[in-house]
Structures are given as structure tokens and as C-alpha cells.
Amino acid sequence: MRKLAYAAVLLATAAYAWPAAANDGLISIIKDPKQWGIQTGDYANTRYSKLDQITAANVGKLQVAWSFSTGVLRGHEGGPLIIGDVMYVHTPFPNIVYALDLNDDGRIIWKYEPKQDPNVIPVMCCDTVNRGLAYSNGLIYLHQADTTLVALDAKTGEKKWSVVNGDPTKGETNTATVLPVKDKVIVGISGGEFGVRCHVTAYDSKTGKQVWRGYSMGPDSDILVDPEKTTSLGKPVGKDSSLKTWEGDQWKIGGGCTWGWYSYDPETNLVYYGSGNPSTWNPAQRPGDNKWSMTVWARDADTGVAKWVYQMTPHDEWDYDGINEMILTDQQFNGAPRKLLTHFDRNGFGYTLDRVTGELLVAEKYDPAVNWATKVDMDKNSPTYGRPLVVSQYSTQQQGEDVNTKGICPAALGSKDQQPASFSPKTGLFYVPTNHVCMDYEPFRVSYTAGQPYVGATLSMYPAPNSHGGMGNFIAWDNTKGKIVWSLKEPFSVWSGALATAGDVVFYGTLEGYLKAVDAKTGKELYKFKTPSGIIGNVTTYEHKGKQYIAVLSGVGGWAGIGLAAGLTDPNAGLGAVGGYAALSNYTNLGGQLTVFSLPN
């Protein structure tokens, strides 16, 4: 059976034919399972490791090998990089970087602590998190909260160059990692809750010089689309595809931010990512589809020009940011090999597309609680092809301003937020951390002032009704059928990135602080260990001196943990999350620690 499953996915992403023009140094590290050279494990964002020393049979024997305190008490997202004998660890604001010696139980080799204006903190949405460092050709890249992109010498920590990517006084900040591709570094921007018009930018990896920038909305020349060649659902987007969907100049403060994950296919030379919610959260103030917010983008890595786009939630009425990771796999689909892209959107639908053409293949709910839309129209002859069919009862626009629309599922933080899923080519399954949360949503009229919040909605969140009463599930998903294979109930949202391994074990963390290991085929829990604080970081694995290790950052925070992280008590604070996760304080507290696990000698 395993052989059949393995053949069915065509070795998934392992079969890439890497072109010589790509970043050879980083690619060699990515191909070496002993190291962890990129936040998502590989360019395809699979978060899969070929290491198999830790198995379903022995994972129950895991022990703490060593630990390290980061010295920062806020939400710790992302994970460490492992390059050779050195581990690189980052923190939330002030974004300290540590180089740790793996030959000496994490002795600090060097430390970089940027001096940032603390005024950036209140401008950051949903905690002061950072999703991690990147590495390329001897340099460590850090995109700071204040949008300064810094290149550090990997051996010494010396700053080689820096460039400013945005303006925090206008609400532009950063929480994301960056993606080194060939001779460039791809970066995004945050600020959708401040009316920022967001973009993706490529900088020269050696000098920091800007190479190209593509906005999420605006004129064709700004968003880098070719009206005749850039397609959406198989058809050219046409001239002014974005401008026609905004009223007046609203696009200039339109959001569409790019604070999520990026993937890259060396064969097509395309970079894939998602754009976020349109500004404001009050849909009545921005009539139209608001393109190209809430969109899957496929851009040429060299020029930035978009090959195709697909808007998942036109005229978003619920803050269903589309920034979650795009996972690239080569699999059998309906009996034929296809180059696929799988995306678990905040809106609760799991999408499978052809990553070369942008053809929509699957769009199904990956949480049964999702109710804001009945389905995505898959009839290619329908005028609503590719669009979600919205249920009027849960349409915040149809209910109107100053009306509290109740019982919308999922909540604004989505059926899954940025916490990345993983994929195993051995099982052909995706392992997805999810939120099982609903909300009440009341939009109101709001005015734009640069640098001030531009939200326009009051939210409250709570567990999905008529279910297990918890706020999370960890699921296995079949992306070709659009079906849940198995599901594990969790009392709180699963806000940690998953890791799948060749040992048939899948790892994830919980908001209470547990590192958990489950059987990749059945979901059976095999191991758990409670770390000092809630886990919103992503589980990482590597090998050192012949032994496999598992590493994870703990430090509760992020949107779900913002009440604890920022000391908030108003139930409606934290954009509605504080009340929903109030019980979390009974299980964990602030922290900032790296914990490393291994099997006993």
C-alpha cells in the first residue's frame, strides 16, 4: 500500500530538476536533510524531512537534549535555521538574532540586536511576532519589524547591507520571513489594518538594490500584470483589471498585504504567495471585487510579472486574509500527473490548483463548521465560476453597517491562519493545524488617517457551536479529493506549524505549550511534552553528529495569544481574540525558549 501511495505522488517535490541558474548554495543545503536551510523546509513549502531516525515506534522515548532562552517575552513564531554546525535563532521585537554552536549545546557564537523605534510596536497587528530568518550564500537575512531588511555575515554577524522596505509612520510593518531566490531576496509588507497599499518586492541579495516591486492593487504597471498574458481562471485579466473593481481612489489605501509565506518552483521560475484582506474591514465602504486582494499570485522570479492570479474571496466581508502558504507538489490527479499548488485559506476552503496554468481543480471546506458560503462554484460555464456562493445570513455587507452579524464560521482568524501545514510524499497527505472558531462581526463607518488604525469592525470570537467545544483541530487532508482523512480535537486553536518526517511521524505544537507527535497514517498520538510556554512556532528537525533532533520555539502570542502577550483584558480587544481565548491563561504564560529534543543514547 505504501508503495502505491508513494508512486501516486510521483515523489512529490523531491523530483525537481534544479536549474544551474538558481541559488546553488542554498539549494544544496535544502537538499541535505541534515540541515534546515529555509523556514518552510524547502522551496515547495512542504515542511517535510527525509530524516527517519525518529520513528513512530521510538518517538515516545524523546527527551529534552538542551534548551535556550531567547530573552524576549512575546509570541515566538517561525523556527530556527540549521546551517552546518550552527543554529540561527530569532526573536519577536526587537528581533534579536543568535548564532548558536551545535558542538557546544547552543553556546552563543554571536548576537545581533537591532535598535528599532519602539513606536513600531503599537502599529503591528496581532502581536510583535517575526516568522524567521533566511540564508543564502553566506548571509543571514532578517526583515525587522520596522521593515528594515538586513543582511548579516553568517560567520560573524557583521551587517553587510540594509534597506528600508516601508514606512511604519504610515502603518507599514513586517512580521514575515523572506525568500532568497537565485540572486534576489523576495519580501512582503504588513499594514492592511492601517490602509496600506501592499506589495511584494525583490532586492538584489548581494547589494540590497531594489530589482522589482509588484503591488496588490492599482494600475497594471504597478501590479505588474500583462492584460493579455496574465490570466485568471484561464482567461486574460484584461486592461485595468484591478482599477475597475475599486470605487474611485480607494485602491490607494486598499490593503492586500503580503505578510505570509512564499514558495518557488525552479522549473517554472515562478514565485507563489497570497495577498491579504482589502482595507477597510467595513465592506460597505469599498464596493466591488477589490482585486487583487485575497488572491493567489504566480509571479516570474526575474521580472515580477504575474503569469496568473486567482481571487479566492472577492469583496471580502470577513477579514479572510489570503496569505497562507502555497504548497507545491507533483501528484497524480484524475489519473494524470499534474504540477499542483495546495492552499488552505483563512476562508475555510482548501484549494488545489494547477500551478503552471492556475486552473482551479479542487475547492472544499476543510472544517465542517464553515458556513459563510455553501461552496465554491466549480462549473466552468457558470458566470460565478471560481467564486464562493455567499450565504446572505452571514454576509456582513447585506446585514449592513452597525448591525452585529452573528454566528459566522470561521472567525476572522480563519479556519487556519499563517501557521503552515506540511506534506508527506510517503502518505500523500497534508497535515494542517486549524482553528475551529466562529465570530460575531459588526462593521461601522471609519475614516482614513495615515498611520492610524483603519479597521471599521468590532468582533467577538468563540468555539464553533454544535461540535467538540474546543477551538482547534489537527487534520490530515487529501488535496486531490478535498477530504479530511482524520482529525484530532484540540481545546485551543493549533497555532504551530506542522512537520512531517520520513519516520512516519508528524509533529506540531499547541497553545497550551505541548509538543505533540502523531502517527502520519492514523493520527494516533505517540508523544507529548509540555514546554515552558504556549507554542506558536514551527517544528524543525535536523541531524548533528549522526543524531536526529527536533527543535521548537515556545512563547505564547500571535493573534490567538495576544491577550497574554500584550496584557489585554477587554474581550473585544486584539481584534476580537482576547475574549475568545481568555481561558488560555489557565494553562500557560509568557515565555521565550527554544527546546531541542532527541532520542536517548
Q: Rounded to an integer, what distance in angstroms lies between the CA atom of residue 531 and that of residue 512?
A: 9
Q: What is the 3-state secondary structure (H, E, C) of 271-300?
A: EEEECCCECCCCHHHCCCCCCCCCEEEEEE
Contact assessment for residue 306 and residue 261, using Cβ atoms and an 8 Å cutoff: no
- In a 3-state reduction of DSSP, which class is residue 204? strand
Q: Is cis: bond before 427, omega within 30 of 0? A: no
Cell readout for 390 is: 455567499
| Tally of CB atoms within 10 A around 70 | 20
Which has the closest alpha carbon to 252: 286, 210, 202, 212? 286
Which has the closest alpha carbon to 62: 436, 510, 524, 551? 551
Q: Is the dihedral of CA 240, 241, 245, 249 positive or negative?
A: negative
Q: Rounded to an integer, what distance in angstroms lies between the CA atom of residue 30 and that of residue 38?
A: 7
Which has the closest alpha carbon to 168: 188, 186, 194, 130? 194
319 is catalytic: yes
Q: Rounded to an integer, what distance in angstroms lies between the CA atom of residue 217 and that of residue 261?
A: 19
Residue count (the chain): 601
Q: Rounded to an integer, what distance in angstroms lies between the CA atom of residue 47 and that of residue 44?
A: 8
Q: Rounded to an integer, what distance in angstroms lies between the CA atom of residue 549 and that of residue 81?
A: 13
Using left for φ > 0, alpha for ψ between -120 and 50, and beta otherwise, residue 399 falls in: alpha
From 146, 220, 289, 319, the catalytic residue: 319
Greatest CA span in the chain, whole angstroms?
67
Q: Rounded to an integer, what distance in angstroms lies between the CA atom of residue 304 and that of residue 109?
A: 37
Q: Rounded to an integer, what distance in angstroms lies between the CA atom of residue 191 and that of residue 194?
A: 5
Q: Rounded to an integer, what distance in angstroms lies between the CA atom of residue 63 and that of residue 271?
A: 39
Q: Is cis: bond before 94, omega within 30 of 0? A: yes
Contact assessment for residue 186 and residue 23, using Cβ atoms and an 8 Å cutoff: no
Please compute Rg for the chain using Cα positions: 22
DSSP secondary structure letters along 372-399: SEEEE---TTSTTTTSEEE-GGG-HHHH
Which has the closest alpha carbon to 214: 198, 195, 230? 198
Cell readout for 150 is: 538586513
Q: Is cis: bond before 118, omega within 30 of 0? A: no
Cite the active site residues. Answer: 319
